[in-house]
A and B are shown apart, each in its own frame.
Chain A
Amino acid sequence: MKRRSIDGSEEEKNKKPRSDEEEEEEGMVNVAELGEDLILEVLKRADARTLGRAACASRRWRRLAEDERLWEAVCTRDWVRVPYGERQLRSVVLALGGFRRLHSLYILPFLAAAAASPSPMTRRAHLRPRWGKDEVQLSLALLSISYFEKMNPSNNHRGGSGCG
């Protein structure tokens, strides 16, 4: 689970635009009263960092920000021409630990590595590298191995989910 340091100012920035927006429309409204759907809509457009930080704001925010749908969006946003059906991909990834885990373990380090050294392999050195089929395949493979390693054969339930 990603723990980012709680950044008060960032939080404020996140909350302010929304509450301002709300104020404009309906007068004084507390963020807490915003419908969860609306928050999710907003967060769907957030990048990974923002999501991570939002998850540190409060328990409610954490629950919202850790929603797999959001992380699915984060992961698949940059994927280019990935030949997996959405539903197919979703079911497999969720079974293997989820998109949030996929991102934190196998996508983030890739991005960091790619950003640090634009190798001839990636051939591009911009901020948001587009991910092709091979990168996706590799990260999924690693996710599956990690899940498998954490499985406990004596229990009859999946041991690889969630925390850690």
Chain B
Amino acid sequence: MKREHQETEAGGGGGYHVATAGDMTGAKGKMTAGPSMGTEDDDCGVDELLAALGYKVRSSEMADVAQKLEQLEVAMASTAAAASDDASVLPQIASDTVHYDPSDLATWLDSMLSELNAPPPPLPPPPPVAASVHHHHHRFDVSTASAVSEPPAITTVAPLRPSDAYDFKPVPAPAAASGGRVVYGLDPQSEMIVSPRDQKRKRTCSPSSSSSRGAEAGRARGSRTEGASSAKPAAAVPVVVVDTQESGIRLVHALMACAEAVQQENLKAADALVKHISVLAASQDGPMRKVAGYFAAAIARRIYRRRPLSQVDRALDSPALDDLLHGHFYESCPYLKFAHFTANQAILEAFSSCRRVHVIDFGMRQGLQWPALLQALALRPEGPPSLRLTGIGPPQSDHSDALQQVGWKLAMLAKSIGVDFRYRGFVASSLADLESRMLLERDGNEGDRDDEGEEEAVAVNSVMELHRLLARTGALEKVLRMVLAVRPRIVTVVEEEANHNGGTFLDRFTEALHYYSSMFDSLEGSGGQAAEAGEEEQQQHRAMAEAYLGRQICNVVACEGAERTERHETLGQWRGRMARAGFEPAHLGSNAFKQASMLLALYAGGDGFRVEETDGCLTLGWHTRPLIATSAWRVSAAATR
């Protein structure tokens, strides 16, 4: 066993991390290694060894771990019996455990079992960049490549089993260095189930570039010499994917590592990680792959964004495309429908017994919210009121009058169901450009219908529009003042339920990752209304909806400053903002809740969706995660002058 050599050279206690095993910030090696420790393995078995080293077993894995320990015991016993040379087998196994983190007992056991039971499949040649990438776990300090302090004289023991005979290329150090060979703290779950023997082989790299690597890493630990010799696997080769869940976790960690690198301005490392993420993502399935793909693309965009926006980028920013994707998003999952239905219910209730009503919509788009309101108004027991609708939309790049077309359609619908309807469209690139008097003023030709005696009841509706204003300071306050000036009976606000606007880039990234993962999951689940759309159509809707979300992801991750418009904030934050602006909450009634619940019952995958009520606001989420929140507001008594 050559291990002892390396240990002694690294400096006495460095190789034996008994002392630091309990301290997670120390080097991550599992400590057994040398023959001196081998005897322990021989007699007491695994348990005592682990306990002595302060291994932490996660409680969720207890049963699993126990079972595996049993299996391992059996396997070891049988192997020991089978092998001709007892003494060489067990120390071999024991020494192989050096590379794994004590806290991840389950993974270690898995690797042991897999080694003993079945040889792992032969490794294809690793992609050069991937080999230099490590996963980051934020609990651990970063240290430079462990192999750095290894003397080049390490050789490996002749393999005992055929599994070790396969070809494995060690990572060439210079290439690795140029690729940004940053070694992050070892995350247990990100470990590959690769024979540790291979990892020893990997570490045949020269220490000459260690200093440059150290500089690159930028976060060399002081205790490098101490910890380095202990098992830090030199490379994580994405080869033996044991189970998708594991690689999914690895993927998440890779993403987090990448984001952290970006935050640290370590762009080379981030770049390498992005490529690694793409590789990992390919091994995934379904929503996770797509989410990872979008996030990776967004990070890549952020890394390379020095160059100015190209023609393609500008074309992709067109509002028409956005509306198209938005429409598909509407069809593919219930979030927008939920938003519309709950907001409409609040508006209806606020308008009860009013003869003249005015709705101001901050984001008209294709006007999908209003047919239902028109229908509900038409069927009012006291008969429909006269409805005026003011729609606000962004300037269209191709000069088509989308806003007017929508108004036309709504007018035709209103006519056919007998609701007196008037429409006005406003084009504004930002809501802050509007003035309250513009919204309130009427068209000239009202004729004799304009009885001044009847005051108009106004409702302001904003579905996922307010968060854009946060990109410019003071814009939101200005708009809310304008809303106050309009003197609405009710203001309905629907926003994404997430904090994509606070803290550091890493915080935002993490939050967005969780949020959009849930979103994408729910897209998989929701089947949509079975009656209308065929399977293919559903898939098309879903694909477009994913693209729609992908654009949001890109904005959240890659953009900054005024460009970053997707500044989502949580319901709590919005509550604060509205209260400060002079609004008080209006509780959404049980009708809204019932309607929302029924709406979800229609969706196949409706099992995953949850409607919840918190303090008068309704949220719709996927499993335990709320994703969209509707709230209603009135002008508070204090604010009315």
**Chain B binds chain A:** yes
Taking a contact as CB atoms under 8 Å apart, the answer to whether A141 and B376 are in contact is: yes
A119 CA to B597 CA, complexed, in Å: 10
Please encode chain B, from 579 to 611, with 1 for each CB lying within 8 Å of some chain A CB and 0 for all others. 000000000000100110111011000000000
Give B603's nearest chain A residue, CB to CB: A113
Q: Which of B405, B409, B417, B594 contacts A96 (CB 8 A)?
A: B417
Give B404's nearest chain A residue, CB to CB: A153
Taking a contact as CB atoms under 8 Å apart, the answer to whether A144 and B598 are in contact is: no
A156 CA to B416 CA, complexed, in Å: 12
Stretch in B17-25, B157-165, B183-191, B367-375 with 4+ CB within 8 Å of A = B367-375
Measured between beta carbons, the chain B residues less than 8 angstroms from A108 are 531
Q: How large is the interface on A (under 10, 10 to 19, 20 to 34, 35 or more residues)?
A: 35 or more
Give A136's nearest chain B residue, CB to CB: B379
Taking a contact as CB atoms under 8 Å apart, the answer to whether B375 and A110 are in contact is: no
A74 CA to B598 CA, complexed, in Å: 21
Nearest CB on A from B268, distance (A): 49
Taking a contact as CB atoms under 8 Å apart, the answer to whether A138 and B598 are in contact is: yes
A110 CA to B597 CA, complexed, in Å: 12
Using a Cβ cutoff of 8 Å, how many contacts connect chains A and B? 94
Instruction: From known contacts A121-B598, A158-B416, infer whether A83 and B372 are also in contact, taking CB-CB under 8 Å.
Output: no
For chain A, residues 20 to 45, give those with C-beta under 8 angstroms from any C-beta of chain B.
none
Taking a contact as CB atoms under 8 Å apart, the answer to whether B601 and A96 are in contact is: no
In the complex, whether B418 has a CB less than 8 A from a CB of chain A is yes
A44 CA to B410 CA, complexed, in Å: 34
In the complex, whether B378 has a CB less than 8 A from a CB of chain A is yes
Measured between beta carbons, the chain B residues less than 8 angstroms from A104 are 531
Taking a contact as CB atoms under 8 Å apart, the answer to whether B381 and A85 are in contact is: yes
In the complex, whether B166 has a CB less than 8 A from a CB of chain A is no
Instruction: From known contacts A141-B341, A151-B412, infer whether A134 and B601 are also in contact, taking CB-CB under 8 Å.
Output: no
Measured between beta carbons, the chain B residues less than 8 angstroms from A67 are none
Taking a contact as CB atoms under 8 Å apart, the answer to whether A95 and B416 are in contact is: yes
Taking a contact as CB atoms under 8 Å apart, the answer to whether A92 and B418 are in contact is: yes
A114 CA to B378 CA, complexed, in Å: 28
Taking a contact as CB atoms under 8 Å apart, the answer to whether A92 and B595 are in contact is: no
Measured between beta carbons, the chain A residues less than 8 angstroms from B418 are 91-92, 95
Measured between beta carbons, the chain A residues less than 8 angstroms from B371 are 141, 144-145, 147-148
Give B412's nearest chain A residue, CB to CB: A151
Nearest CB on B from A162, distance (A): 14
Judged by DSSP, the binding face of A is: helix
Give A84's nearest chain B residue, CB to CB: B379
Taking a contact as CB atoms under 8 Å apart, the answer to whether B532 and A146 are in contact is: yes
Taking a contact as CB atoms under 8 Å apart, the answer to whether A148 and B381 are in contact is: no
A108 CA to B529 CA, complexed, in Å: 11
Nearest CB on B from A50, distance (A): 20
Q: Which of B376, B409, B417 contacts A137 (CB 8 A)?
A: B376
Taking a contact as CB atoms under 8 Å apart, the answer to whether B408 and A92 are in contact is: no
Taking a contact as CB atoms under 8 Å apart, the answer to whether B372 and A144 are in contact is: yes
For chain B, residues 390 to 443, give those with C-beta under 8 angstroms from any C-beta of chain A.
405, 408-410, 412-413, 416-418
In the complex, whether A5 has a CB less than 8 A from a CB of chain B is no
In the complex, whether A109 has a CB less than 8 A from a CB of chain B is yes
Please encode chain A, from 120 to 150, with 1 for each CB lying within 8 Å of some chain B CB and 0 for all others. 0100000000000011011011111111110
In the complex, whether B530 has a CB less than 8 A from a CB of chain A is yes
A135 CA to B341 CA, complexed, in Å: 13
A135 CA to B371 CA, complexed, in Å: 17
Interface centre among A95, A121, A148, A158, by most B CB within 10 Å?
A: A148
Taking a contact as CB atoms under 8 Å apart, the answer to whether A114 and B601 are in contact is: yes
Give B604's nearest chain A residue, CB to CB: A113
Measured between beta carbons, the chain B residues less than 8 angstroms from A137 are 376, 595
Nearest CB on B from A20, distance (A): 37
Nearest CB on B from A125, distance (A): 14
In the complex, whether A1 has a CB less than 8 A from a CB of chain B is no
Give B406's nearest chain A residue, CB to CB: A153
Measured between beta carbons, the chain B residues less than 8 angstroms from A135 are 598
A138 CA to B418 CA, complexed, in Å: 20
Q: Which of A95, A113, A140, A153 contacts B601 (CB 8 A)?
A: A113
Taking a contact as CB atoms under 8 Å apart, the answer to whether B379 and A153 are in contact is: no
Nearest CB on B from A154, distance (A): 9
Measured between beta carbons, the chain B residues less than 8 angstroms from A138 are 341, 595, 598-599
In the complex, whether A88 has a CB less than 8 A from a CB of chain B is yes
For chain B, residues 514 to 560, give those with C-beta under 8 angstroms from any C-beta of chain A.
529-532
Taking a contact as CB atoms under 8 Å apart, the answer to whether A109 and B416 are in contact is: no
Measured between beta carbons, the chain B residues less than 8 angstroms from A134 are 591, 594-595, 598
Give A113's nearest chain B residue, CB to CB: B601
In the complex, whether A79 has a CB less than 8 A from a CB of chain B is no
Nearest CB on B from A85, distance (A): 7
Nearest CB on A from B601, distance (A): 5
Taking a contact as CB atoms under 8 Å apart, the answer to whether B374 and A144 are in contact is: yes
Taking a contact as CB atoms under 8 Å apart, the answer to whether A121 and B417 are in contact is: no
Taking a contact as CB atoms under 8 Å apart, the answer to whether B531 and A144 are in contact is: no
Taking a contact as CB atoms under 8 Å apart, the answer to whether B602 and A110 are in contact is: yes
Taking a contact as CB atoms under 8 Å apart, the answer to whether A153 and B405 are in contact is: yes
Nearest CB on A from B367, distance (A): 8
Taking a contact as CB atoms under 8 Å apart, the answer to whether A144 and B413 are in contact is: yes
Instruction: From known contacts A109-B602, A144-B371, infer whether A151 and B413 are also in contact, taking CB-CB under 8 Å.
Output: yes
Give A106's nearest chain B residue, CB to CB: B531
In the complex, whether A89 has a CB less than 8 A from a CB of chain B is yes
Measured between beta carbons, the chain A residues less than 8 angstroms from B597 are 121
Instruction: From known contacts A119-B601, A138-B595, infer whether A109 and B379 are also in contact, taking CB-CB under 8 Å.
Output: no
A106 CA to B601 CA, complexed, in Å: 12
Nearest CB on B from A89, distance (A): 7
16 CB < 8 A contacts A-B: A84-B379, A85-B381, A88-B378, A89-B379, A105-B531, A108-B531, A109-B602, A110-B601, A138-B599, A140-B375, A141-B344, A142-B529, A144-B372, A144-B413, A145-B371, A153-B412
- Going nearest first, the 9 A-B pairs with the smallest beta carbon separation are A141-B372, A144-B375, A148-B371, A144-B371, A95-B416, A105-B531, A134-B594, A95-B417, A92-B417
Known: A141-B341, A141-B376, A151-B409. 15 other contacts (CB 8 A): A92-B379, A105-B529, A108-B531, A109-B531, A114-B601, A135-B598, A140-B375, A143-B375, A144-B413, A148-B409, A149-B368, A151-B412, A153-B405, A153-B408, A158-B412
Task: Please give the residue numbers on chain A whose beta carbons come within 8 Å of chain B beta carbons, in ascending order.
Answer: 83-85, 88-89, 91-92, 95-96, 104-106, 108-110, 113-114, 119, 121, 134-135, 137-138, 140-149, 151, 153, 156, 158
Task: Please give the residue numbers on chain B whose beta carbons come within 8 Å of chain A beta carbons, in ascending order.
Answer: 341, 344, 367-368, 371-372, 374-376, 378-379, 381, 383, 405, 408-410, 412-413, 416-418, 529-532, 591, 594-595, 597-599, 601-602
